[in-house]
Amino acid sequence: MVDLGGSLAVASRGLFATGVSTDLNVTYLSSGGKIGDKVLAEVTCDKFGKTLAFTSIQFRNEKNELFARGSHTKYVALAHKDPQNIVEELNPKKESK
């Protein structure tokens, strides 16, 4: 969930390919519940640079109690060059003739 959430946070910035994970961490603070319970995951892209993107995620139970948190770092330098990016400033510069 931390990997997927972090990748989606990076994708939300306009990248088609979301790069390669360089660090991933999960800290469990308590039991999240039992099978069938709903879990709320909230992900943020804390910093989005030219080479690395840093994301964090919080997991809460149905009572809105924090039971786990995670962080995810992705190498995005090559992903910036993907021609399928949907944000114009991330598309590779086309050489003018």
In the chain, where are the structural domains located? 2-85
pLDDT in tens, 24-63: 999 999 988 889 999 999 999 999 888 899 999 999 999 9
Among 41-45, 65-69, 71-75, 87-91, name the one with the lowest average pLDDT.
87-91
CATH topology for 2-85 is: Thiol Ester Dehydrase; Chain A (3.10.129)
Between vectors from CA 55 to CA 54 and to CA 57, what angle results, nearest 5°?
160
The reported pTM is 0.75
User: CA-CA distance, 24 to 53, in Å (whole number)?
Assistant: 12
